Chain A
Amino acid sequence: MNSSSIVAETFAKLQQKSRTAWQSLRDRPLILVGTATCGRAAGALEILKVIKEELEKHGIDAQVLEVGCMGHCYAEPLVTVYKPGFPPISYGYVTEGIAGRLVQDFLGGDDPCLEFALAALETNDMVPALTDFPRGMIEKPIILDKCGLIDPEQIEHYIALGGYAAQARALTREPEWVVEEIKASGLRGRGGAGFPTGRKWETCRLAPGEKKYVICNADEGDPGAFMDRAILESNPHEVLEGLAIAAYAVGARQGYFYIRAEYPLAVERVKKAIEQARQAGLLGTNILGSGFSFDVDVFQGSGAFVCGEETALIASMEGEPGLPRHRPPFPATAGLRGRPTVINNVKTLAYVPHIIERGAQWFRETGTAGSPGTAVFALAGKVINTGLAEVPMGTTLRQLVYDVGSGIPKGKSFKAVQIGGPSGGCLPEAALDMPIDFDSLSQAGAMMGSGGMVILDEDDCMVEIARFFLDFTQKESCGKCTMCRLGTRQMLDILEAITKGQGKPGDIELLLELAEDVKAGSLCGLGKTAPNPVLSTIRYFRDEYEAHIKERRCPALMCQELIAYYILPEKCERSCDACVGSCPVEAIYTNEDRVKVIDQQKCVKCASCLEACPPQYKAVVKLSPPELVAERGRKV
């Protein structure tokens, strides 16, 4: 028997065993509770406890599983119930009361409690399915397809749904075939820059040297992006399988997961996944009898954004401060400990098993010619349905914001979308119909980055956004390149002055000039892209900069130094005390007309009173410039 048939046979047995385990879950009711970090933050662990207690109390025989994130983070905590005779139904915004009713009325009785249902997971006659909504029609999950449906801590679930079949398949072929297949698929690195993955692998494969490494880059540092965390917490085996295939393709025997320390749950679940894969014979020596050996360790990052950059990441794994170095040589020829090293993002690796399983041609059918496949976006900010969405490349921003995200909350109007984190830029309303992929975004002055998408509405100040991102990159600059270290500092000083109303004529021109210098004078991606948020906001929202500088006014009423809170006397319902109680610094008092007044000296501008004022009065407003308060006072 040759080694390919041994691999096929060993894997078939493993698959059979896993399928039996998976099938047995369907014999009785099954409850899935999403306990990824987003679910936990919304109280999923309490819901899990309540469900278990209720099942016990009512003597109902059902299985409860902890699963990852389905991407519908806005509706967390999310519970999905499988009951024989019913379609699988997901319930959103689950409270302890709803959890109790699901157990008693649905599992105990036969009432599926549709008033709490979010959607069914399969098309049926009873409940609208996810795919019946506009969002479901646009989304095309490839790497998120199993997230939230399987227990990330049970390898059998992943295998039963087709997992590790690609690895088994790859092991029966030559490594060159794997490299060629990835090259043919046109897969581009999802870490942000979009470098062709197949070319990276080929360079590493051809590089001389016995010892090679593969690293999964899970140092997701972009504020606003959380898909890598969600994937590692929801389906770590998918990424692990991708890493193993990469190792086979380039000839590496050792791999690493480089995970941010801020993601403790992801670290825990990846470690468990590695352990289970070892026990199943999918990692370690002589994997599935193929003769190929490969093992994986976890390295925890320690909180430096710059370490997402390949050479800085390597420096930190070698025990040095994370300073990037000049390239070439690229890590693919001289990386970790000087050996050829492939470093791929979590999402890039997650695509690999799917491509090997279904073929390069299948992958190219989705997306655009230059950027095949799908893109995963993390929707956050001023959008109704925050969460993760996987859509084909070439989807427009409008579809993402309005169909997937359901638009802007509270009836406010859309202003811009910040895409790609600190390396990306802000795109205005005019860009909403642009099909997004790697190339169209960089043309528009933004960047795919890691796919973080923060939606901004009329209340968001674009100068403040630019300042925020520059503040971030300035703090995270490793300090090696002068232009990045000092240039961003200068730019930040100017922006801070502008947001405080101390901007000077000529500041915008100076910012533009500095931005070009910082781009030209920086070694790594951090410095090269740091000015992007400033450049794109000046490009599309120059009038806001000018209002700050010339009129000392913040049009979006956001910059704290340029606004004041004011209670409209004509709207104040005099017998109501809501604002007084909400004020953390006791700055609100009642005047002789029993109208509430804010003591501007004491006010810390925390917006508590604005939130507290009952919506039927809406008496608290923001004014800019703050001098308007005194003017109003005189009028009264």
Chain B
Amino acid sequence: MHLTEGEKRVALEQTGNILESYSRERGNLIPILQQVQEKLGYVPLVAMEEVARHLGIPPVDVYSVATFYNQFRLIPPGKHQIKVCMGTACHMKGGNIILDCWKRRLGIDVNEVTPDREFSLERVACVGCCTMAPVTVIDEEVHGKVTPTRVDGLLFSFGVKIPKGQQKEGEAVEQQ
């Protein structure tokens, strides 16, 4: 994803602030990256280079850590982050069906962001709410027992209108 100059500047500034409170030990790498992500919502390349300089390690080492762990996002997230739980219990209760619904409604795949940057879609391994399966987490709020209709309802609560054509009657006629 292409970052604007403004975004890069903010990223550098915030990363600089965070680095001030950390010593130059390699053991701080993951906490630093977590802080960067908490502030910016993602870990951009420019921030990784800054962190590498601070810790005195090659940028590729920072990149390898950032890409090894699932938590780190390398592109800016949508305004609302949708995380669909794909743990065992959620899977058994149709988690993949729910994920399909989100994909279909948002028109994006997992780890993508809608073009207007309103929503991003991720899958998470398990949020530990197995008894409420299937679960979707939207902006840290856990929604349990999600159904395809509930997906539409949740989107509606964010002001998204689901395009429903006049197809029903029309189509029935066509079939006849």
Contact = CB atoms under 8 A, between A and B. Distances in A.
Interface in A573-609: 580, 582, 584-586, 589-592, 597, 604-608
Given A37-B142, A318-B26, A606 B127 contact: no
Nearest to B94: A607
B140 interface: yes
Contacts of A465: 92
Interface string B101-139: 100110000000000000000001111111111010000
Contacts of A382: 92
Interface in A464-482: 465, 468-469, 472, 476, 478
B90 to A, nearest CB: 8
Contacts of B14: none
A202 B45 CA distance: 46
A84 interface: no
Contacts of B159: none
A472 B101 CA distance: 21
B73 to A, nearest CB: 11
B166 to A, nearest CB: 10
A304 interface: yes
Contacts of A611: 147
A41 B127 CA distance: 11
Interface string A397-426: 000000000000000000000100100000
Interface stretch (A20-28, A119-127, A222-230): A222-230
A282 B35 CA distance: 29
A611 B147 CA distance: 10
Contacts of A597: 175
A452 interface: yes
Nearest to A602: B171
Nearest to A221: B125
A20 to B, nearest CB: 35
B21 interface: no
Interface residues of B, number: 58
A74 interface: yes
A262 B130 contact: no
A317 interface: yes
A580 B167 CA distance: 11
Interface residues of A, number: 70
A139 interface: no
Contacts of A381: 88-89, 92-93, 130
A250 interface: no
A456 B92 CA distance: 8
B89 A303 contact: no
Given A223-B88, A319-B29, A229 B128 contact: yes
Looking at chain B's contact residues, is the secondary structure mostly helix, strand, loop, or mixed?
Answer: helix
A263 to B, nearest CB: 7
Contact of B130 (A226, A263, A299, A607): A226
B89 A472 contact: no
A15 B135 CA distance: 42
A300 B28 contact: no
A400 B30 CA distance: 40
A361 interface: no
A318 B30 CA distance: 9
Given A224-B88, A319-B65, A418-B88, A38 B34 contact: no
B132 A38 contact: yes
A304 B72 CA distance: 11
Interface in A442-477: 452, 454, 456, 460, 465, 468-469, 472, 476
Given A42-B144, A302-B71, A585-B104, A319 B26 contact: yes
Contacts of A338: none
B103 to A, nearest CB: 10
Nearest to A321: B68
Interface in A255-304: 261-264, 299-304
A248 to B, nearest CB: 25
B158 interface: no
A549 interface: no
Interface in A300-345: 300-305, 316-322, 337
Given A302-B70, A421-B88, A460-B92, A226 B165 contact: no
A41 B27 contact: no
14 contacts: A40-B142, A76-B132, A221-B125, A262-B127, A299-B31, A300-B30, A302-B33, A378-B130, A454-B88, A454-B92, A584-B105, A584-B152, A590-B172, A611-B147
Interface of A: 37-38, 40-42, 73-74, 76, 220-226, 229-230, 261-264, 299-305, 316-322, 337, 378, 380-382, 386-387, 418, 421, 452, 454, 456, 460, 465, 468-469, 472, 476, 478, 580, 582, 584-586, 589-592, 597, 604-608, 611
Interface of B: 25-31, 33-34, 55, 64-65, 68-72, 86-94, 97, 100-101, 104-105, 124-133, 135, 140, 142-144, 147-149, 152, 164-165, 167-168, 171-172, 175-176
